[in-house]
Structure 1
């Protein structure tokens, strides 16, 4: 399934975050953790309590296909000093975030609060602009409407894609633990989209999450990882779930939820290679990430339109630094 409708407008629903410290991640622009917990023996310099930090990532995926760049810059303040591995990586940070795709662009402000090495809370608020190309934006009067890749391509060819703008609010958390070479983490995220849709439309297809989502409502997503750290190489398993919270007002009068949009479930291997991790470098922790997952549940990708044997595959390159 290589529909043109899903090519450059689509973006990874589960990829590409760069650590600012062991276990830290950025939650802006709908991008969950794909980074690797830092090794205990990674070199470390004395970083002042108040400092700047940046992260950059580029990524591509298939099923559906997508391409994007994710960027952020922060001013960070370390909350307190501690030699304990469970406490020493703490900070509060604020700064601009951006998410760029050939089909749309987002940008705004993000806040990250990490009181402990194992826990991070974050929020971002972004303005978004859809360009009306690559068969996007497509919106519908009901969640029950057909939003398959084939149908999106047909609608795009018919000229129904349109320019729009709006906002995105993202709330997220990250909980992770590491014992020896084994790391476990969970990364729940909640999204609220508010776009200017066509008159009569209540929902739209969101290519980053690969889901039909309610306008002015909420969508939830979570990635859970079990990882083994072997030096520069990290291998493991990722389970992902995404679901929309549709409300009665999201359906036309007389229509109801008939179960056409189940929660999406995927599972598969996670592989990452970090070339170096030295905190005193401006260009630090360059990492290649490969994730391949098979759909356990999806309206179209478990045999209805796309064979369940075809995996969701994402490849990314990411790096970070402290200027």
Structure 2
């Protein structure tokens, strides 16, 4: 069975936060957490100014199909102490990050800077290895090439997929605020790919963000959420926009951008349930998440190949902790 190695919502990462939960994560983080009241009998410990944190996320997706695990470990330094909800969640952190899937392996270093609860800036640089299975990697001489699910399967049957390596630079921001039980946030991200492609090819299909990516160029995506926080439960609506930023050099002589690859737009509901949230625990904030979005714009998923009635669906389990 053909399996698309995927990143949930452009790379799920782990728990979001700031004013939504005790900690934020802009770099690849897409799933909300809620602040759950601490049990009265729960053990407590003082979290030192300099401490370590880890995060784990496991996710599956359909339309396109994907399965992956996302890991990070970070040395974090709290910048200052404050009791204010707007200021208390602040830090700078650095540490290894990793992404594991049946078709793609990534690993590298990430850094996060959160000066106050409503804003986080982050960056990561990772080496990538495509294993040459599940019809990947497929590259093309032009963004105008057919990279539909059907065509990728045909090319995989012909054996044109190949193993290769490269690097990924990710830049991200997270801006969020909360008023009563309602939270709003936006999470823009930029991805810069440098892959060793087959001679003559300028672009490749990138299944994590579901676009034909310009090699040596950028892909942009943003998730905007409106959330209602109800204790352990979070309900919300997500709007996502994703697109490749194509340059003249991404096209062969005689070709140009003909509008075949419109910006991808999708929108739909999301729900998450956090079993407990006690920040000083080794195993904390285990959360189940379900997101379903319908495509408003896509080259293949609004009726050309896949019915527009078929949603993009993702389910995930994630947790974090302080060792």
> Does TM, normalized by the shorter one, top 0.5?
yes
Identify the residue that residue 13 of structure 1 maps to in structure 2.
9
Deviation of the 1:68 alpha carbon: 0.1
Deviation of the 1:11 alpha carbon: 2.8
Structure 2 residue 32 is the aligned partner of structure 1 residue 35:
yes
Identify the residue that residue 161 of structure 1 maps to in structure 2.
161
CA shift in 2, pair 1:23/1:221, >3 Å: farther
Aligned partners of 1:121, 1:23: CA distance in 2, in Å? Answer: 16
Aligned partners of 2:67, 2:260: CA distance in 1, in Å? Answer: 27
Aligned partners of 1:26, 1:119: CA distance in 2, in Å? Answer: 10
Identify the residue that residue 279 of structure 2 maps to in structure 1.
279
Where 2:151 maps in the other structure, the secondary structure is helix
Deviation of the 1:27 alpha carbon: 4.5
Aligned partners of 1:117, 1:250: CA distance in 2, in Å? Answer: 40
Deviation of the 1:46 alpha carbon: 2.8
Where 2:184 maps in the other structure, the secondary structure is strand
Identify the residue that residue 293 of structure 1 maps to in structure 2.
293
Identify the residue that residue 123 of structure 2 maps to in structure 1.
123
Structure 2 residue 129 is the aligned partner of structure 1 residue 132:
no
Count of aligned residue pairs for this structure pair: 316
Where 1:249 maps in the other structure, the secondary structure is helix
Contact residue 34 and residue 274 of structure 2 kept, 8 A:
no
Where 1:61 maps in the other structure, the secondary structure is strand
Q: Cα deviation per residue 1:144-180 (whole Å; 9 max; x = unaligned)?
A: 0000000000000000010100000000000000111
Contact residue 8 and residue 101 of structure 1 kept, 8 A:
no
Identify the residue that residue 304 of structure 2 maps to in structure 1.
304
Contact residue 16 and residue 58 of structure 1 kept, 8 A:
no
How is 1:50-61 mapped onto 2 (pairs within 5 angstroms)? 50-61=50-61
How is 1:230-249 mapped onto 2 (pairs within 5 angstroms)? 230-249=230-249
Aligned partners of 1:27, 1:216: CA distance in 2, in Å? Answer: 23
Deviation of the 1:226 alpha carbon: 0.3
Deviation of the 1:266 alpha carbon: 0.5
Q: 4+ runs of 1 displaced by more than 4 Å?
A: 41-45
Contact residue 239 and residue 265 of structure 2 kept, 8 A:
yes
Aligned partners of 1:188, 1:283: CA distance in 2, in Å? Answer: 29
Deviation of the 1:35 alpha carbon: 2.4
Contact residue 19 and residue 320 of structure 1 kept, 8 A:
no
Identify the residue that residue 84 of structure 2 maps to in structure 1.
84
Aligned partners of 1:312, 1:32: CA distance in 2, in Å? Answer: 18
Deviation of the 1:281 alpha carbon: 1.4
Identify the residue that residue 321 of structure 2 maps to in structure 1.
321
Q: TM-score, normalised by structure 1?
A: 0.95
Deviation of the 1:33 alpha carbon: 2.0
Q: Cα deviation per residue 1:257-309 (whole Å; 9 max; x = unaligned)?
A: 10000000000001000000012310000000000000000000000000000
Identify which range, 279-288 or 14-23, moves more after superposition: 14-23
Deviation of the 1:24 alpha carbon: 3.4
Where 2:33 maps in the other structure, the secondary structure is coil
Contact residue 213 and residue 219 of structure 2 kept, 8 A:
yes
Structure 2 residue 75 is the aligned partner of structure 1 residue 97:
no
Deviation of the 1:38 alpha carbon: 2.8
Where 2:220 maps in the other structure, the secondary structure is strand
Deviation of the 1:20 alpha carbon: 7.1
Where 1:292 maps in the other structure, the secondary structure is strand
Identify the residue that residue 23 of structure 2 maps to in structure 1.
24
Identify the residue that residue 253 of structure 1 maps to in structure 2.
253
Contact residue 60 and residue 316 of structure 1 kept, 8 A:
yes
